[in-house]
Amino acid sequence: MKAVKICPASEIPAGGKKIVEIEGKSIGIFNLNGEFYALRNICPHQFAPLCLGKVTGYNAPSEVGVYDWCREGEIIRCPWHGWEFDIKSGKSIFNPHKVRTKSYPVTVEAGGSGCDHGCDHEDESVETYPVTIETGHLFVHL
């Protein structure tokens, strides 16, 4: 599986999305509360630019007259005909076993850490400080 570096994770805020071109494929990357997901930017119905659609939730199956709105911010609705897909898996809401759009794994990886000068040992005479990595870069795995 090939990993393609996209952008700093901080570039896509929670609830946000970014559409990128990778190896001739348009791919939408979504930040769902700090977890990142990627979908092919094509609705399988009539090849609309799916990731330009509205991010929303949906009414879960329920009793007549009961409306159970759920999964707010986890569903993408096709801008052409309203077909809905789970951002986390690419599966359609109406027929998840047969209809889907391609999804890709996304990882957040630190950009470089440790000593860049060939340091491979600890010297007790050198004062050290704890370091945390505040940002990382997004990688889509094709």
The CATH number given to whatever domain includes residue 103 is 2.102.10.10
110 vs 24: which has the higher pLDDT: 24
Q: Is the alpha carbon torsion for 50, 55, 61, 66 positive or negative?
A: negative
Residue 121 lies in a domain: no
> Quick check: 116 pLDDT over 50?
no
Q: Flag whether 82 is in a domain.
A: yes
Whether pLDDT at 114 is above 80: no
Averaged over 109-126, what is the pLDDT?
A: 48
49 part of a folded domain: yes
* Residue 116 belongs to some domain of the structure: no
Confidence band for 73, pLDDT divided at 50, 70 and 90: very high
Q: Which residue has the higher pLDDT, 69 or 117?
A: 69
Range of the domain at 8: 3-111+130-141
- Which residues have a Cβ under 8 Å from the Cβ of 74 and sit 6 or more positions away? 32, 55, 57, 86, 87, 88
Q: Evaluate whether residue 120 is within a structural domain.
A: no
Task: Please say if the pLDDT value at position 133 is more than 70.
Answer: no
Q: Work out the average pLDDT over 73-101.
A: 95
Residue spans of beta strands (DSSP E) within 3-110:
3-8, 17-22, 25-32, 35-40, 54-60, 68-77, 84-86, 103-104, 106-109
Please name every residue paired with 77 in a beta bridge, in sequence order, or none if there are none: 54, 84
Task: Say if 119 falls within a structural domain.
Answer: no
Most confidently modeled range among 32-36, 106-110, 127-131: 32-36
Q: Is residue 78 part of a domain?
A: yes
Split at pLDDT 50, 70, 90, the class of 83 is very high
The whole-angstrom separation of Cα 32 and Cα 12 is 10
Q: What is the mean pLDDT of residues 114-123?
A: 40
Buried b (16+ CB within 10 A) or exposed e, 101-130: bebbebeeeeeeeeeeeeeeeeeeeeeeee
Q: How many CB atoms lie within 10 A of CB 48?
A: 17
Query: In sequence order, what DSSP letters do the residues of 99-113 get, joined into one string?
Result: -B--EE-EEEE-S--
Does residue 63 sit within a domain?
yes
Encoding tokens for residue 11?
A: 């570039």
How many domains are contained in the chain? 1
Q: Please, are residues 139 and 112 in contact by the beta-carbon 8 Å criterion?
A: no
The pLDDT of residue 117 is 34
Output the average pLDDT for the chain: 85
